[in-house]
Chain A
Amino acid sequence: MSEHGPEKGIKRWLFTTNHKDIGTLYLWFSFIMLLVGGAMAMVIRAELMYPGMQVVNPNFFNMMTTMHGLIMVFGAIMPATVGMANWLIPMMIGAPDMAMPRMNNWSFWILPFAATMLVLPMFMGGDFLAGQGPAFGWTFYEPLSGQYDNLAFFIFAVHLLGISSIMGSINIIATILNLRAPGMTLMKMPMFVWTWLITAFLLIAVMPVLAGAVTMMLTDKYFGTSFFDAAGGGDPVLFQHVFWFFGHPEVYIMILPAFGIVSQIIPTFARKKLFGYSSMVYATAAIAFLSFIVWAHHMYTVGMPVAGELYFMYATVMIAVPTAVKVFNWTATMWRGAMTFETPMLWAVAFVFLFTIGGFTGLMLGVAPSDFQYHDTYFVVAHFHYVLVTGALFALIGGVYYWLPKWTGNMYDEKLGKLHFWLSVISVNVLFFPQHFVGLAGMQRRVPDYAVQFADWNFWSSIGGFVFGLSQLLFMYIVIKTIKGGEKASDKVWDNPEGLEWTVPSPAPYHTFETAPEIK
């Protein structure tokens, strides 16, 4: 068995049960989705570059904002974190593969079909430019979404995405709980494994609730029920409760694996052990628990009783405590470390700094009385792009640079990597920072036009957007260049990194840890 290499040609990828192959598939899929969702963001920024309508019609614009959100959340960030998990978790815990390799194959191969089903309605009905696809926002609030003609495509796409995530999560939990090398106790696991274990539990807890929500939409639309329809005794506000009961844990599903990646990168380049390992674990668990009891802070303006607003406000602001524990731990890890700034470290440091900005604006939004002012403005857009782009995405990119030499056996081009970083980090701030200002001044989100006083900041935001978008093509070039060749990477790659993945040769052989390693 151990001499068995991968199959040749397309069959290798279709039928593979190898965790490294499947990890690669996930990562490429998510990168393609990143480019697709990014192209949609470019359309949005082109339209918003100047006040007035110039590039697309309003319905097409709405379709772009909707599809951009859905694709980035379900197509880019989530599969990318699962790809990282596939590649790394077995190697980090000394397991030969995932616990259920065939289900692993299926988890991935559902995704391209789900994504196709999600984007297909855009091309149906003849006139692409009229905007035939979903155009009700990525949160698909009822009753607006119930008006949409091709709703079934959207609903079944979400079902498929959910099934894929649930299978992937069960696999990850089973791998972590059952396949750890002897001596690898839970509290010895790398932080990335810990964050993914907790993320996987979040996923199996809330993806079924999302499935329930879209199932209710389905029966409302086609089978005469009235869960969300006021005329039949239902309530659209109920939809928001069910959606955000999923939606809030979902944002932690996207950020916790990023926390894990950063917790791997920073100790390597600070040349110190991660500060406060056990507090990191407990903070992650605390964040996960709190994420279940704060959902209504997304809907302060629906007319909740004051007691409800106060409860959700206090619970929300409480999340700042474990999150601050993490930020302080990363900072303390760097404190007096022998730091060097290779590309992965640059992304990780930018993550700590910029994610914290997103965290602070999150606190402002979490305070109910001030949220009434910010609700549905560009301030919210700026907030969640700071936590998701400079948070989750930056950590993922940093992670790719960090482990790419292990995956491919070649070093990436350090000069180009740094160029990619500086282009991205400057442009992303030009892109999103002004959105705080226009948001505070009252510019609404999800509207293709705006009052002229917002013109200057929007112009700069668009310029930043175009540069940030193009910079990611440079990322693609660097990755392909590294796969094709380059300076050979050593087995350790970095200066004394911690973790079992650095004990195997570079590139990592097709099969690793067929006999479990010794853990001291």
Chain B
Amino acid sequence: MNNADQNKITRRLTGKLLLVVVGMFGFGFLLVPLYNVMCDVLGINGRFIDIQSGQVDVAEQERLGAQASLQVDESREVRVQFLTQLNQNLNWEFRALDNAVTVHPGQVMEVRFYAKNLTGREVVGQAVPSIVPAKAFKYFTKMECFCFSHQVLKPGEEVEMPLRFVVRPDLPEDIRTISLAYTFFDTENRDGGKQVRAEEPAAVLAQHAR
């Protein structure tokens, strides 16, 4: 084999390998939609709620809840505990007024959450729920929830927000405790508050106040 042939073969192989490189770079980005599809299918990570629009089919939730509450299983008790947290982009106070409740499957229960806007501007917040164990997700039906819509709070305004839910009677036997965590996000501050971390918080707050 002479040198020219050698170079040609090497060039062709290099071209193919470069295609692999470009393809795998693309594959890295393809993982993003793949991941979202997986989360939607499995109903994990609370990703079914879009923070920007906050749309949920409330009527459907109501129907599912009514169906679940037809038959109360008095023989079982399930402990439901509530956790609250704030995304770093949101300066609110947010807590559950009932930390935990014990319910029978099928029993409709209402609990309340408290939120207060600590900023000097009107903030449109959106709560995103997450349920542990993930297996309990499809047995936990919310009939009314502050997470079904945006919560608009004026500067300094405080609200009590209801959550009405039912745990479906066909909940697997091994689940005795369900943890429901809510994270509140600022719908307008999409960059996760990265800018707020700068040296001059006052200036940034003024900019947000517009």
- Which residues of A are interface residues toward B (Cβ below 8 A)? 99-100, 143, 146-147, 166, 169-170, 173-174, 177-179, 204-213, 216, 221, 224, 226-227, 229-233, 235, 237-238, 241-242, 245, 303, 305-306
Contacts and interface: CB of A to CB of B under 8 A. Distances in A.
Interface string B18-34: 10111111111101100
Contact of B194 (A147, A210, A245): A147
The 8 closest A-B pairs by CB, nearest first: A212-B28, A208-B25, A208-B24, A232-B190, A209-B28, A229-B192, A231-B192, A170-B17
Contact of B6 (A178, A211, A230, A306): A178
A206 B47 CA distance: 27
A124 to B, nearest CB: 16
Given A147-B194, A205-B24, A227 B32 contact: yes
28 contacts: A100-B14, A143-B88, A146-B194, A174-B10, A174-B14, A178-B6, A204-B24, A205-B20, A208-B25, A209-B24, A210-B28, A216-B28, A216-B32, A221-B194, A224-B190, A224-B191, A230-B87, A230-B185, A231-B88, A231-B192, A231-B193, A235-B35, A235-B45, A237-B45, A238-B35, A241-B31, A242-B28, A305-B42
Contacts of A178: 6, 9-10, 13
Interface residues of B, number: 45
Interface of B: 6, 9-10, 13-14, 17-18, 20-29, 31-32, 35, 39, 42, 44-45, 47, 50-52, 87-89, 128, 132, 134-135, 183, 185-186, 189-194, 197
Given A212-B28, A305-B44, A233 B14 contact: no
A221 B190 CA distance: 11
A186 B192 CA distance: 53
Nearest to B49: A233
Contacts of A100: 10, 14
B196 to A, nearest CB: 11
Nearest to A182: B1
Contacts of B87: 230-231
Contacts of A305: 42, 44, 134-135
B31 to A, nearest CB: 5
Given A208-B24, A233-B50, 13 more contacts: A166-B21, A169-B17, A177-B13, A204-B24, A205-B24, A207-B21, A212-B28, A212-B29, A216-B29, A226-B191, A235-B47, A237-B45, A245-B28
Given A211-B25, A232-B191, A238-B32, A173 B185 contact: no
A179 B21 CA distance: 22
A216 B32 CA distance: 10
A229 B191 contact: yes
Contacts of B194: 146-147, 221
Contacts of A233: 50-52
B192 A173 contact: no
A173 B17 contact: yes
Contact of A231 (B26, B42, B191): B191
Contacts of A245: 28, 31
A303 B32 CA distance: 18
A89 to B, nearest CB: 15
B44 A303 contact: yes
A211 B28 contact: yes
B31 A242 contact: yes
B17 A146 contact: no
Nearest to A212: B28
Contacts of A207: 21, 24
Contact of A208 (B22, B47, B50, B183): B22
A127 to B, nearest CB: 15
A229 B183 CA distance: 13
B200 to A, nearest CB: 14
